[in-house]
């Protein structure tokens, strides 16, 4: 099968809308299709990776643990925008999985290299 | 890369996020066309980016909002066929939803 | 050139579905090919044939069905997103013990793999959403 470079561009916070969760489902399927999958987290998307999510009180299924499972699917390219973290008072230590923190401009360059950009 | 923006710059950060990638082509559609309008607080930012980005705005969305005659100089109005051409001419496109 | 389209919002609330439709028509008018239109998130609501807009408004669902018929388009509704939102075809009705179907003509329900395949097979994939 042809392998293409897919990047999922995540810019929305979790739980307030379903986009983050349904985007993660796309990531898992793309990985199952053995595509070259990477994820970019920009703007409120960085909140998706925040450690310590406890969703019992809102009765919505939490998905923090799924990020940790991505490695099993060989999805290891996770890029987070430095500016988006800083604006929100967060740092890489606040995130649930190891990521590469890059400037928005560098993420822009990575986006240019992709075959398919899926934005949620 | 083609950046497709459908959010008003007076409401959301989509325009800023697209500009922060560095350079490329921007197409304003739906509520994104409010970024193409003269005389607003966002005009200076858009004009300042005209060197790095080529700007287009969807005519049908401008006209629907009563703004077809107020487009910032340097932004090119396009129809849906022009939208298709922009997608075809650029290897990838990012919709800043 | 081969295009695919991803529609992430339902009809009427957001303009995304209208723009996606106008874009699809323009793609075809230019002589390009549409490999697939994929409906995800609330976009699956574009596929309910039970919609009844006022007579002086556009019928977004019927418009998609007509376009599919005229151009033999492959319009795919994501199964997981459809199940969550109650978009049902014959197979889903039986599988999940429901008492009705509502999938409009021209649409079919299938997995997310169809979206990835569209990305692989197409020269361009354009996302419409909110």
Domain limits for position A96: 5-119
Rounded to a whole number of angstroms, the distance from the CA of A22 to the nearest CA of chain C is 7
| Catalytic site positions of C | 78
Q: How confident is the model at residue B90 (pLDDT cuts 50, 70, 90)?
A: very high
Bridge partners, residue C109, by sequence: C77
- CATH, domain B2-96, list 3.40.190.10, 3.10.20.30, 3.40.1260.10, 3.30.70.20: 3.40.1260.10
| Mean pLDDT score, C87-111 | 97
- Strands (DSSP E) contained in chain B are 2-5, 24-28, 53-58, 75-78, 93-96
pTM of the model: 0.97
- Strands (DSSP E) contained in B15-74 are 24-28, 53-58
Q: What is the CATH number of the domain that holds A113?
A: 3.40.1260.10
Per DSSP, the three-state class of C47 is: helix
Q: Both tokens of residue A115?
A: 């075959």
Indicate whether A78 pLDDT > 80.
Answer: yes
Interchain contact, B17 vs A43, CB within 8 Å: yes
ipTM for the assembly: 0.97
Which domains does chain C show, CATH number per domain?
A: 2-128 (3.40.1260.10)
CB count within 10 Å of CB A102 equals: 17
Chain A hits for C83, CB-CB cut-off 8 Å, are: none
Res A1: pLDDT = 77
Q: How confident is the model at residue C33 (pLDDT cuts 50, 70, 90)?
A: very high
Total domains in the fold of chain A: 1
| Mean pLDDT score, B53-64 | 98
**Distances in whole angstroms, Cα of residue B15 to Cα of each of A48, A54, C30, C67:** 22, 33, 29, 32
Edge-to-edge strands, sheet with C75-78: C107-110, C75-78, C33-39, C2-7, C124-128
CB-nearest to A117 from B13, B24, B92 is B92
Helix (H) or strand (E) holding C23: helix C16-29
Three-state secondary structure string covering C72-121: CCCEEEEHHHHHHHCCCCHHHHHHCCCCCCCECCCEEEECCHHHHHHHHH
Give the A-side interface with B, CB within 8 Å: 9, 11-12, 42-43, 83, 104-105, 107-109, 111-112, 114-117, 119-120
Indicate whether B37 pLDDT > 90.
Answer: yes
pLDDT in tens, C43-69: 999 999 999 999 999 999 999 999 999
Bridge partners, residue C43, by sequence: none
**Distances in whole angstroms, Cα of residue A71 to Cα of each of A13, A65, A67, A84, B78:** 22, 12, 8, 24, 43
Q: Tell me how far apart the alpha carbons of residues C81 and C42 are, in angstroms, rounded to a whole number.
A: 7
């Amino acid at each position: 099968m042809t392998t293409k470079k897919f990047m999922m561009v995540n810019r929305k916070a979790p739980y307030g809308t379903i986009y983050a969760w349904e985007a993660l489902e796309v990531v898992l399927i793309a990985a199952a299709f053995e595509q070259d999958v990477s994820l970019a987290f920009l703007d409120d998307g960085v909140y998706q990776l925040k450690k310590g999510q406890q969703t019992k009180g809102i009765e919505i299924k939490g998905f923090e643990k799924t990020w940790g499972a991505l490695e099993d699917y060989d999805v290891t390219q996770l890029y987070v925008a430095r500016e988006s973290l800083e604006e929100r008072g967060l740092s890489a230590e606040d995130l649930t999985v190891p990521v590469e923190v890059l400037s928005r401009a560098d993420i822009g360059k990575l986006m240019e290299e992709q075959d398919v950009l899926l934005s949620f | 890369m083609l950046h497709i923006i459908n959010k008003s710059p007076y409401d959301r950060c989509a325009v800023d996020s697209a500009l922060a990638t560095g350079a490329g082509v921007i197409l304003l559609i739906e509520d994104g066309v409010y970024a193409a309008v003269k005389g607003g607080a966002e005009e200076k930012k858009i004009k300042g980016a005209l060197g790095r980005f080529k700007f287009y705005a969807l005519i049908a969305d401008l006209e629907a909002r009563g703004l077809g005659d107020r487009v910032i100089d340097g932004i090119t109005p396009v129809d849906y066929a022009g939208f298709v051409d922009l997608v075809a001419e650029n290897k990838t496109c990012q919709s800043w939803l | 050139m081969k295009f695919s389209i991803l529609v992430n919002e339902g009809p009427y609330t957001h303009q995304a579905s209208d723009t996606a439709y106008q874009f699809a028509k323009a793609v075809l008018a230019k002589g390009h090919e549409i490999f697939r239109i994929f409906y995800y998130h609330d976009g699956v609501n574009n596929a309910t044939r039970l919609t009844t807009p006022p007579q002086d408004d556009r019928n977004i669902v019927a418009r998609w069905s007509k376009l599919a018929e005229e151009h033999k388009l492959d319009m795919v509704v994501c199964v997981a997103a459809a199940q969550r939102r109650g978009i049902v075809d014959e197979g889903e009705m039986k599988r999940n013990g429901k008492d009705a179907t509502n999938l409009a003509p021209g649409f079919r329900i299938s997995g997310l793999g169809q979206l990835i395949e569209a990305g692989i097979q197409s020269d361009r994939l354009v996302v419409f959403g909110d």
